[in-house]
Structure 1
Amino acid sequence: MRFKVWSHPIEISYSTTLLSKATLFYVVSSLLTVVPPLIIAYRSQGFWIKSATYSEQPDIHFKHTLIVILEKSDGTDLIWSSRESDLELEGDRVRIPVIRSREEDGNRDGVLDSLWLNLEMPMDGSEEITGVQALLLFDYKLKRFSYFEMTGLVYLTGQGSAGRSFQCSGDIQLIQRQPLSHRGRDSRYIESPLAGEPPLHLAEILRNYGARNISLRVENSYSVWRRGTGVENFVLELNLNYPSQTVEYIPGFWQTIKGGWIQYLSVLVVFIYLFNSIKTFVFSQQILPTIIETPWKQ
């Protein structure tokens, strides 16, 4: 009874002169081994990774900058702004509310998770509120790859028949028109979207903010408009969550090369096997004459 303990292949060499048909065949077959896989991998789309995504919970802080506009049934409105410059030009449209707010870190990881804000605007019995608009400013930071920071604007609106309160909850989400860099510091949008001289031009503010390549918006939102007349206060209540974001970014050099190399190698292995078989057949059958050298024939 025998069993194999070791084995190794016997190497057979095929030699020829530099200027010969066998040399030309070897060069051409070698080029056909390495070049077509590169073309196939590149033409199959996605060879170079132009963008990628990752998940990160942003560092968000409410800047305590708030503008609220209440629309009345008679076509006029009431306004309150945390910026004194806005209030100086609004005259009798200004109404001073009572505001309470807090930001919470529910899972105690050192990153804030949500904002609760309650605003009570004093009313007289004859006023009827049919619509509400609110603008809030936030500090927004991402740190995992590139250090990105901006001043983001959240715009909320609700309307209905004569109401006494508006409640809204949702998630603050990052809106991207272009990916971030994979490293460096990006603070191109650090300036406040509300920067500028009063009076307040809401349409222009929203138009300019919407033209940004990177902005914030409330998604997954749910709102309730409660009707009622003759109330003493109109109540605006907001619950905004700060969830993890899916961030698009431009990969660095090594990540790009890694993705392309894997695709190229997967096709190259097939071509190496195919052309090695062809070379073995051509030279072993002496279709192209060469000098054969074996271990037992030196």
Structure 2
Amino acid sequence: MALYELYAHPVERGYRAGLCSKAALFLLLAAALTYIPPLLVAFRSHGFWLKRSTYEEQPTVRFQHQVLLVALLGSEPGGFLAWSTFPAFNRLQEGHLRVPLVSAREEDRNQDGKMDMLHFKLELPLQSTEQVLGVQLILTFSYQLHRMSTFVMQSMAFLQFSFAVPGSQLHVNGDLRLQQKQPLGYRGLDVRYNVSVINGTSPFASDYDLTRVVAAYQERNVTTILTDPSPIWLVGRAAEAPFVVNAVIRYPVEFAWIQYVSILLIFLWAFERIKRFVFQNQVVTTIPVTAVPQGELYKEHLS
């Protein structure tokens, strides 16, 4: 007669051994290795169960000495002057090219080995009939984080201001702030954005179009932005005086956003499978005991 499985239930199997046996010593060691390492990791990473969190870090920021300037003129419709540190861009400007005098100095105020701010000055020579009504300026930086994960990128500060009256000087004072759309990795090296913001070797004008450069930059998950620039527009330029841009850009302490994993869950999962393998394969000597429900045991005795 054919037999069919009409009912099934899980069977619990235990393993018995003395308190001074190798099996007991193994369980004690497994418990220690399950809970103590996560404690040590949690002490360094601020939690067992965190999925996302923030932490404070002073970034390593250095000015890359890459500049792109467009000065909007009011003397004629659509008039502008342009210059950059990219020779290919300058060759494209033809009659609009005007070479300024540029100086830059970074300062480490607290002497911790990391720069705290940039002092940038640009003097653009003008003819007596030329008047500046607006400025578009890109400065590029190397930006690094090291404390939780090593994150390295090439970033920029984009300044754009326009005014109704011609100016003689523009003063800007702001913070280069980190912006994140997604959290950073908890560990490892992240260099996905360690590429130049502007393709300075390209011979094509489209690669220097500010609309495209800014749009491509904003597609990143991690960027920097110049916050609270507090622009001061000074008027009353002398006939032969240059137009001056003075910028102070600080590199403040950042609160980076990171992605964690659940540390303890990994250890519990791993050592549960290690213990099952050890006892099922009698790596340590024990006495297996199968426990079944009392009703099932009574039926077996009756049969």
Instruction: List structure 1 runs of 4+ shifted beyond 3 angstroms.
Output: 255-258
2:242 match: 233
Matched, 1:131 2:134: yes
From 185, 191, 194, the equivalent of 1:190 is 194
Q: Offset at 1:195?
A: 1.8
1:166 corresponds to which letter in structure 2? Answer: L
C-alpha separation between the residues in 2 aligned to 1:220 and 1:106? 21
Take 1:114 and 1:168, find their aligned partners in 2: how far apart are those partners? 13
How is 1:45-194 mapped onto 2 (pairs within 5 angstroms)? 48-73=49-74, 74=76, 75-160=78-163, 161-194=165-198
Could you tell me how far apart the structure 2 residues matched to 1:102 and 1:158 are? 23
Partners of 2:94 and 2:112 in 1: CA distance: 45
- Of 218, 222, 228, which residue of structure 2 is paired with 1:220? 228
3-state secondary structure, aligned to 2:217: helix
> Given residue 81 of structure 1, which amino acid in structure 2 is its aligned partner?
S
Residue of structure 1 in register with 2:279 after alignment: none
| Residues 168-199 of structure 1, C-alpha deviations (whole Å, 9 max, x = no match) | 01000000000001100000001112126231
Evaluate the alpha carbon distance shift between residue 204 and residue 210 of structure 1 in structure 2; reply closer, same or farther with a 3 A threshold.
same
Moved more, 152-161 or 190-199: 190-199
Which stretch shifts more, 71-80 or 226-235? 226-235
Following superposition, the deviation at residue 257 of structure 1 comes to 8.4
From 248, 256, 260, the equivalent of 2:257 is 248
1:158–1:166 Cα contact (<8 Å) kept: no
Q: Which amino acid aligns with 1:94?
A: L
Distance in 2 between residues matched to 1:104 and 1:57, nearest whole Å? 14
Q: Offset at 1:252?
A: 3.5
Cα 1:152–1:256 change in 2 (3 A) is farther
Secondary structure of 2:245's aligned partner:
strand
Equivalent residue for 2:40? none
The Cα RMSD (Å) is 1.8
> Is 1:119–1:237's contact at 8 Å kept on the other side of the alignment?
yes
* 1:210 alignment partner AA: Q
Letter in 2 for 1:195: N
Which of 200, 206, 209 pairs up with 1:201? 209
User: Which residue identity is paired with 2:233?
Assistant: W
Consecutive unaligned residues of structure 2, counting only runs of 5 or more, are: 1-47, 268-303
Residue pair 2:49, 2:261 contacting (<8 A) in 1 also: no
**Quick check: 1:211 aligned with 2:215?**
no
Q: Distance in 2 between matches of 1:193 and 1:113?
A: 22
Question: The residue matched to 2:192 in structure 1 has which SS?
Answer: strand
What SS does the corresponding residue of 2:213 show, helix, strand or coil?
A: helix
1-structure distance, mates of 2:126, 2:50: 57
Q: Matched residues in 2 for 1:247 and 1:220: separation?
A: 19
Aligned residues with identical type, % of pairs: 32
Q: Which residue of 1 aligns with 2:9?
A: none
Q: Which moved more, 1:223-232 or 1:162-171?
A: 223-232
Aligned length: 212
Q: Is the 8 A contact 1:164 1:231 kept in 2?
A: no
SS in 1 for 2:190: strand
Deviation, 1:251, is 1.6
